[in-house]
Amino acid sequence: MSSGKRFPGKVVIVTASTDGIGLAIAKRLAEDGAHVMISSRTQKNVDAAVDQLRSEGLSVSGIVCHVAKEEHRRKLIEETSESVWDKIFEVNVKATFLLVKEIAPYIEKRGGGSIVLVSSIGGFVFGGLLGAYGTSKTAMFGLTKALVPQCAGMNIRINCIAPGLIRTRFSEALWKDPDVLADTLKSVPMNRIGEPSECAGVVSFLCSEDASYVTGETIVIAGGQSSRL
């Protein structure tokens, strides 16, 4: 008999999931019946997230995972612009590709599945200081498309989300001060900030059978903000 949940018996890995959008995605997919593996760079944060979700009766485990394998990464001694560029691309683009490469054979062995990359509206809309970040997020749209054929051959769908301004620690500088928030919202037709749970619902949909013929797509979650390159 069906449990009425989207992901009974499924295992989900959510990277960068001890706070913000990742934590909301982990919580939502666990509520939808999956066993969720939580991870981030810090044991303390992993423990806190696992405790929080377990206290809500959800099935989760946790492990420390720096997505860019810090031990292989050149240590940044000086924050030169080139080193910042390299770091952003290493985490957002290269590590994303390597994670897909590493995990895809395991998903294939289980009969197939779904991968969702977290990009950003910043990949469509370029602000002055966010050139490297925005360009790396644009690259993630291309990466999503580029991985479709190989993933399809492994019965894996791969899609992407592009959140706009979402209320998390990462984006605090854009919403904590009411004047800055009012200025930011000038480009958001819905005239409000988004919540992490509003990203999690879209990820749940993309991972589910309701999206069984959807691959290579980017869904923008940005309150109507312009999203054309």
Site for ligand NAP contains 83 (CB under 6 A)? no
Residues 6+ apart with CB under 8 A from 208: 6, 7, 32
- 41 versus 108: smaller Cβ distance to ligand NAP: 41
Residue 12 DSSP code: E
Binding string, 190-219, against ligand NAP, x = CB under 6 A? ------------------------------
Instruction: Round to whole Å and give the CA distance between 174 and 168.
Output: 10
- 168 versus 215: smaller Cβ distance to ligand NAP: 168
133 catalytic residue (yes or no): yes
Instruction: Please check whether residue 164 is in contact with residue 121, taking contact to mean a CB–CB distance below 8 angstroms.
Output: yes
Instruction: Please check whether residue 67 is in contact with residue 61, taking contact to mean a CB–CB distance below 8 angstroms.
Output: no
# chain residues binding ligand NAP, by CB under 6 A? 27
The one segment of 14-22, 80-88, 176-184, 205-213 that binds ligand NAP by CB under 6 A: 14-22
Q: What order do you get walking across the sheet with 35-40 strand by strand?
A: 11-14, 35-40, 60-64
- 68 versus 156: smaller Cβ distance to ligand NAP: 68
Instruction: Please check whether residue 81 is in contact with residue 92, taking contact to mean a CB–CB distance below 8 angstroms.
Output: no
- 69 versus 110: smaller Cβ distance to ligand NAP: 69
Among 28, 40, 104, 185, binds ligand NAP (CB under 6 A): 40
Among 12, 15, 28, 37, binds ligand NAP (CB under 6 A): 15
Task: Classify the phi-psi angles of 57: left when phi > 0, otherwise alpha if psi is within -120 to 50, otherwise beta.
Answer: left
Q: Show contacts with ligand NAP in window 114-133 (CB under 6 A).
A: 118, 120-121
Residues noted as catalytic: 133
